[in-house]
Amino acid sequence: MSPDTILEFYDIPSKLPGIAWSPNTWKTRYCLNYKGIPYKTIWVEYPDIASTCKRIGAAPTTTKSDGTPLYTLPVIRDPSTGIAISDSPRIADYLEKTYPDTPRLFPPGTRALQAAFYDEFEDNHLKMASFVIPKVALILNPRSFEFFKEDRSKRFGSIAMEDLYPKGEKKVELWKRWKDTWGVVASWMEDTDTFIMGNDTITFADFVVAGWVIWPRHLWGEDSEEWKDIASWHGGRWGRLIERLSEYETIV
């Protein structure tokens, strides 16, 4: 595929060398790598996301509380069809339909179940904002940091480690809450299964979960106590998940 026809994958850069950090864009990177679709990454700082999406024709993901459109990454643009798509579940659907001869993200009959899984997991099982927001703030490039700080401060008051990051008993309590919400997900699965559909079938749902699991590994670092703890939760299933998917971690 020539550089002009290769699929474009839009992601948010950071100061971490060689590491992609955004949980949402990871879902799409995993999909692209798993399907073996050639692509190139285009790195876009936070303040440039909306204008980039508008320029390439990618729809907003949702609407902000003030009624204006919210543009987010991941986005892909596929020169072979001329189509630009935002939002990781819509991207997964597009890739599945446009590249039917690549490995399946949705085994037959599971699309609706996986859509429900996505909504349930994203809405109710991601209780870690006060831990990760200050960590993200530390790794962003200056332009993205200023944008992120202004936006997230509206929701969280402050995004600084000394203000938002939980301490003492609060840290213990909130860390346990995070663990417990993932414990519910673990309870849905058989103890011996690594993937949502078993041990041999990888699906989009696994990339959704893995996007959020790989996040703390990048933010705290592989050798941190925090990551080691998370990787050990619920019989070590989260560490095992990332390990089993490591062949799809390539960043290009």
Q: Pairing state of beta strands 7-11 and 39-43?
A: parallel
Question: Distance between CA atoms of 18 and 75, rounded to whole angstroms?
Answer: 20
Question: Distance between CA atoms of 98 and 73, rounded to whole angstroms?
Answer: 20
3, 17, 142, 187: which one contacts a copy of itself (CB under 8 A)?
187
The three-class DSSP label of residue 39 is: strand
The three-class DSSP label of residue 127 is: coil
Q: Which stretch binds a copy of itself (CB under 8 A): 71-79, 80-88, 115-123, 173-181?
A: 115-123
1: nearest Cα among 100, 80, 95: 80
Q: What track of x and - describes contact with a copy of itself for positions 157 through 186 (by CB under 8 A)?
A: ---------------------------xx-
Q: Which stretch binds a copy of itself (CB under 8 A): 45-53, 73-81, 113-121, 222-230?
A: 113-121
Verify binding: residue 120, a copy of itself, rule CB under 8 A: yes
**Structure tokens given for 39:** 């692509």
Verify binding: residue 124, a copy of itself, rule CB under 8 A: yes
Give the residue with the Cβ less far from a copy of itself, 111 or 240.
111
Q: How many residues bind a copy of itself (CB under 8 A)?
A: 28
Question: Distance between CA atoms of 164 and 162, rounded to whole angstroms?
Answer: 6
- Say if CB 8 and CB 40 are below 8 A apart: yes
Verify binding: residue 191, a copy of itself, rule CB under 8 A: no
35: nearest Cα among 197, 207, 243, 194: 207
At closest approach, how far in Å is the CB of 245 from a copy of itself? 16
104, 189, 226, 240: which one contacts a copy of itself (CB under 8 A)?
189
Under the rule (CB under 8 A), what is the footprint of a copy of itself? 107-117, 119-121, 123-124, 184-185, 187-190, 193, 196-198, 201, 205
